Structure 1
Amino acid sequence: MSPRSAVFLGTATVSAVAVALALTGGVTAQAAAANLSAAFAQSSVWTGGYGGGYTIANRGDAPAVGWAVEFDLPAGSAVTSSWSSVKTQTGQHYKFTNAGFNGTIAPGATASFGFNVSGAGLPAACTVNGAACTGGGQVTTTPTTTATRTSTRPPATTTTPPSGDVVSVSTAAQLQAALANAAPGQAIKLAAGTYRGSFVTTKPGTAAKPITLSGPSNAVLINDGPSGDAPDCPAPTAGWDSGYGLWLSGAPYWNLTGFTVQESKKGIVVDDSPHTTIDGVTVHHVDEEAIHFRRSSADSVLKNSTITYTGLVQPGYGEGVYLGSANSNWACHGNSGGVDRGDRIQVLDNHIGPFIAAEPIDVKEGTFSGVIRGNTFDGRGISGENSADSWIDVKGIGYTIEDNTGTFSAPGTFANGYENHNTSTSPSFDNGCGNVWRGNKSDLGGAGDYAIKISSVSKCSANPNVVYASNTVANARSGLTNIPVTP
């Protein structure tokens, strides 16, 4: 065989091998794929049950779009409530699929959901998208809906009423006793841990001696309610649990500092409790609104706090911060001449969003002279339900909205950065008038029309709204505002 023949034959052999490999897939590059694992952990344990959840991690190189975790519980144990997921059950077999906000997991990222269990049995035979929870394969999309919860909590226990200037608590029963027996000047201090139950106080402080409830961010209040028969209008009532994470009712001059509220019907509700200060709290993953100043809780302050993931069950009622009440609810909450006068409330230097399902701040009619300053709004996840399509909706009178920073990007529904409306009420006010915007920075992400949309122009001729030139906007479809700018 000549050298030329040898070279020719060698080339032919290599070509044949290449063809064979191509036909058998031997040289095909592996497609990017998600790879999910799911790890269980208990978050709290009580007599007769526990709270726990799964953290789902994407260890692959492509996003996971939709997830489903399944497991079995032994006889005698049952999931009684869950959150951040959609639960289905067949006998002792449970399946949890993602909620609307946590279905996509980027490579290297995680998502989580939680549940309560009656009984001591732990999950077994866990799978995530059909593969073992120790490491799954490529995901498939699953339908998403909104989760609901039913009530369960540790059995009530009796606790000696606390006394002294400083009351340290480390259990739910101790906290309930401290709230029920609080006295002016007292400081209630939460230890780190999970506090599960109904937490309400009707005890007032004074201007000279406010009452303080404080704790670290890992002191977590959870209310799995509501339960019992609700009264016609919300008020602390024997046998009824509102489901609120923390409720101040007729309790002015309280300072709330540092702790976390989550997984409750509402986060913190302040009723008929003026001069309340909320500083550095975290509220997240609640069914409806996060923080509500209601029933004329005037002269209150919310500052340095973080609010995310609201409206998990009712998106249209998932405001981040709610000042006052709609006039349709004044029959219940209008305790100042028939009006909910939540006047002079200040909302300062908070981080609100993402995934606030309704407005990050909703300013209701009949409220006056508040200040909204220095906040950061992340509009991702605004639902569009119940006309929620902006960072702030102002129906109040004489508010100052300044030096806030707002951004929007998908997902979500977004019309304008700040909106303003005039609502007719009885008694009559110039609702939506006399408000001032200055120094606000807005990035509408190409989705919104105006940074500041003034709807109450003709109705506010005697007390006009003012938009100063110090406001800026980027990525707006129409511009800064629809009214003349004041230098």
Structure 2
Amino acid sequence: MTRKRLLAAIAATASAAGLFGAVVTAEAAAPSLTATFAQSSAWDSGYGGKYTLTNAGDANSTQWTIEFDLPEGTSITSSWSSVLTRTGRHYKVTNAGFNGTVKPGGTASFGFNTKGLGLPTGCTVNGRPCGGGGETPSTTTTPPPTTTTSKPPTTTTSVPAGDVVDVSTAAELRAALAAASPGQTIRLAAGTYRGSFVATKPGTAGAPITVTGPSTAVLVNDGPSGEAPSCPAPTAGWDSGYGFWLYGAPYWHLKGFTVQESKKGIVADDSHHTVIEAVRVHRIDEEAVHFRRSSADSVIRDSTISHTGLVQAGYGEGVYLGSASSNWACHGNSGGADRSDRIQVLDNHIGPYVAAEAIDVKEGTVDGVIRGNTFDGQGVSGQNSADSWVDVKGSGYVIEGNTGTFASPGTFANGYETHNPATTPSFPNGCGNVWRDNKSDLGGVGQYAIKITSTSKCSDRPNVVHASNTVSRAVSGLTNIPVTP
């Protein structure tokens, strides 16, 4: 019997049994994504928007791209849980690393805030209309208009100083930061807050602004996105990728919460008298905490830092004080230097897997205190000369009562090092620092607990290593200079 006759016979038999309708051609399992838009809040000059993707197919969707247009006069100012790019009025949004896979019957979402009240049009997901059904993108699909005109349910600048503002969503946190006033406390509920969180309102010496929450209140920034300015500054359409950013915001107190999965952890720019207390910063692409642009007289204490430099190991410092002189054109605002002076780093646990130095003290900074910290050097990368717990290029620092250990893997040269970069205008870089009462275990790998690179460059203001420092498992010993009783 020929194949054609065999198939005909099978069809006839199936028809006679009433089963012909059950004979179908199997199709490969495939995802089927749709996306819906909704406003999460609205105010006089903008709104918070959210897209929710749903997979109605029978296979995982492993990545997604949503595109849409916004009318003239409306633009996105911040976004989260996505990577956003813009060309004119057209926006292209792709998944972040954590939400690209959408299981059958599952959902994923991302959000954004706008300046202007125009709604998205022409939405497509992976090249098909967001509502499903077509093969080609629609250019006329418009989401249903919203009728809400009320302000978002967060505090405004009219809230009296000293009030406690409770927040539980990313949108509420952004609104509270924008409306913050001296003496106010912003209190985070447990949960994950995704997006860009920038504080630009100053507190005062007598009435600092506080952001506090439990360690289970977790800030995540999936940026950066958009076009960056030549020097970092809060800019419409650009997300820095920083987990929490103080910009021109002195006298803030950050306490208790966690920052993770961000380009940088906590950054203080031109924000003197910042206090960071009992925070956890980990799983960070670059550095964990950076005091920058003359954020002087600040403190970080009782905090835990680990797993930094996940993308750029050579820039994965635990705590970064000041800026390299090559960056003073952006970050120097006092005599040409970044004068992030008199910063105290107290009683923190830094490491393991901090890919660069636990603390990097940059040239041009003076008179800080590094006391009572625990350094775990496991995982230091050796990239960009990162091969010690602390690298001191500043001057006049007191480094005392710290405990440092090293165990493989990692590239480890010395426990503490000094360097003396030349700068213009001239500063006595890497000089006049004092070490006492530090305990160092070099793991049988490190040369010296305290390595002083040059004595001649500091002849007028020598570095001092006291005999109260101790070392174990050192290849060469405590220090390469004479010890002071």
CA distance in 1, matches of 2:58, 2:221: 24
AA matched with 1:389: D
Whether the 8 Å CA contact 2:309–2:356 is kept in 1: the answer is: yes
Whether the 8 Å CA contact 1:275–1:299 is kept in 2: the answer is: yes
Shift of 1:79: 6.8
Question: Closer, same or farther in 2 for the Cα pair 1:458/1:49, shift >3 Å?
Answer: farther
Give matches, 1:247-262, under 5 Å: 247-262=245-260
AA matched with 1:48: T
Aligned pair partner of 2:396 in 380, 395, 398: 398
Give matches, 1:262-341, under 5 Å: 262-341=260-339
Question: Closer, same or farther in 2 for the Cα pair 1:484/1:172, shift >3 Å?
Answer: same
Whether the 8 Å CA contact 1:433–1:456 is kept in 2: the answer is: no
CA distance in 2, matches of 1:73, 1:358: 45
| Identity within the alignment, % | 72
For residue 10 of structure 2, what is the aligned residue in structure 1? none
1:159 aligns with 2:157: no
1:117 aligns with 2:100: yes
SS at match of 2:113: coil
TM-score, length-normalised on structure 1?
A: 0.72
Shift of 1:78: 2.6
Whether the 8 Å CA contact 2:465–2:483 is kept in 1: the answer is: yes
Shift of 1:156: 3.4
Give matches, 1:374-389, under 5 Å: 374-389=372-387
Aligned pair partner of 1:236 in 234, 240, 245: 234
Cα deviations by residue, 1:336-367 (Å, 9 ceiling, x for unpaired)? 11110000000000000000000000000000
Shift of 1:118: 6.8
Question: Closer, same or farther in 2 for the Cα pair 1:478/1:179, shift >3 Å?
Answer: same
For residue 43 of structure 2, what is the aligned residue in structure 1? none
Shift of 1:48: 1.8
TM-score, length-normalised on structure 2?
A: 0.72
CA distance in 2, matches of 1:454, 1:369: 18
AA matched with 2:418: N
For residue 469 of structure 1, what is the aligned residue in structure 2? 467
Structure 2: gaps of 5 or more residues: 1-49, 66-79, 82-96, 115-150
For residue 363 of structure 1, what is the aligned residue in structure 2? 361
Question: Closer, same or farther in 2 for the Cα pair 1:189/1:120, shift >3 Å?
Answer: farther
Most deviating of 225-234 and 159-168: 159-168
Question: Closer, same or farther in 2 for the Cα pair 1:468/1:73, shift >3 Å?
Answer: farther
AA matched with 2:276: I
For residue 416 of structure 1, what is the aligned residue in structure 2? 414
Whether the 8 Å CA contact 2:63–2:101 is kept in 1: the answer is: yes
Question: Closer, same or farther in 2 for the Cα pair 1:443/1:49, shift >3 Å?
Answer: farther
For residue 16 of structure 1, what is the aligned residue in structure 2? none
SS at match of 2:326: helix
Aligned pair partner of 2:63 in 48, 72, 78: 78
Whether the 8 Å CA contact 2:52–2:110 is kept in 1: the answer is: no
CA distance in 2, matches of 1:73, 1:404: 57
Cα deviations by residue, 1:152-207 (Å, 9 ceiling, x for unpaired)? 84243872451341100000000000111110000000000000000001000000
Whether the 8 Å CA contact 1:48–1:118 is kept in 2: the answer is: no
Shift of 1:47: 5.2
Whether the 8 Å CA contact 1:153–1:224 is kept in 2: the answer is: no
CA distance in 1, matches of 2:61, 2:453: 58
Whether the 8 Å CA contact 2:61–2:100 is kept in 1: the answer is: no
AA matched with 2:59: P
Cα deviations by residue, 1:219-255 (Å, 9 ceiling, x for unpaired)? 0000000000000000000110000000000000000
1:48 aligns with 2:49: no
SS at match of 1:154: strand
Whether the 8 Å CA contact 1:154–1:196 is kept in 2: the answer is: no
CA distance in 1, matches of 2:481, 2:110: 53
Whether the 8 Å CA contact 2:221–2:261 is kept in 1: the answer is: yes
Cα deviations by residue, 1:59-84 (Å, 9 ceiling, x for unpaired)? xxxxxxxxxxxxx98365637899xx
> Aligned-residue CA RMSD in angstroms?
2.4
Whether the 8 Å CA contact 1:356–1:382 is kept in 2: the answer is: yes
Whether the 8 Å CA contact 1:49–1:117 is kept in 2: the answer is: no
AA matched with 1:424: A
Question: Closer, same or farther in 2 for the Cα pair 1:121/1:376, shift >3 Å?
Answer: farther
Whether the 8 Å CA contact 2:353–2:380 is kept in 1: the answer is: yes
AA matched with 2:474: A
SS at match of 1:406: strand
Question: Closer, same or farther in 2 for the Cα pair 1:398/1:355, shift >3 Å?
Answer: same
SS at match of 1:347: strand
Question: Closer, same or farther in 2 for the Cα pair 1:470/1:121, shift >3 Å?
Answer: farther
Question: Closer, same or farther in 2 for the Cα pair 1:76/1:355, shift >3 Å?
Answer: closer
CA distance in 2, matches of 1:385, 1:281: 27
Shift of 1:266: 0.2
